[in-house]
Amino acid sequence: MSLDTKRKDVAYLLGRLFAILERAQLDALGKVNSTIKDRFFSAASATPASVFPRLIRLSQHHIAKSEYGFKSDRSIANIMEDIDLFPAHMNLQDQGLFAIAYYQQKNAITREIEEAVERKKAEKIKGEEK
């Protein structure tokens, strides 16, 4: 199954949000020793209310520093529109849904980047032919 942008389960939305926050970090800092996934994935999926406010605050620095921060900011805003509050705890089923959404969103981001690279290559080749 692939990313479902119409799905509104809070656990699913939080998994997607976490992937976007991680991407914002990578865009701003490049490869780092430990990503937000390494440090916060378990807590974010089990006790979102204790982690997400800090991650959102941290993401503002990443967004400001990144060349494409506006895109991350827009994606975060789109997802946050359907979240009323961060749950204090998520049960095991919701934690699984969080993980599914995280990886689906991460794959969608990777595909989008790969497609953009391919488009740029094609444009460059087209420009060289003229």
Name the one residue in this structure whose structure tokens are 């595909």. 111
| Overall number of domains in the chain | 1
Phi–psi pair at 15, nearest 5 degrees: -60, -45
Q: Reduced to 3 states, what is the DSSP secondary structure of residue 7?
A: coil
List pLDDT tens digits, range 80-111: 999 999 999 999 999 999 999 999 999 999 99
- pLDDT given for residue 126 in this prediction: 72
Q: For residue 41, what are the domain limits?
A: 10-104
Amino acid identity of residue 86, one-letter, is: F
3-state helix, strand, coil in the chain (%, to 5): 75, 0, 25
- pLDDT given for residue 121 in this prediction: 81
What is the full DSSP assignment across 62-113? HHHHSTTHHHHHHHHHHHHTT-S---S---HHHHHHHHHHHHHHHHHHHHHH
Q: Which residues contact 37 (CB under 8 A, 6 or more apart)?
A: 18, 22
Confidence of residue 123 (pLDDT cuts 50, 70, 90): confident
Residue 116 counted as domain residue: no
List pLDDT tens digits, range 32-76: 999 999 999 999 999 999 999 999 999 999 999 988 889 999 999
Residue 80 counted as domain residue: yes
Residue 127 counted as domain residue: no
Residue 125 counted as domain residue: no
- pLDDT given for residue 130 in this prediction: 61
Residue 25 counted as domain residue: yes
Name the one residue in this structure whose structure tokens are 């800092």. 29
Residue 119 counted as domain residue: no
Residue 17 counted as domain residue: yes
Structure tokens at 128: 């060289």
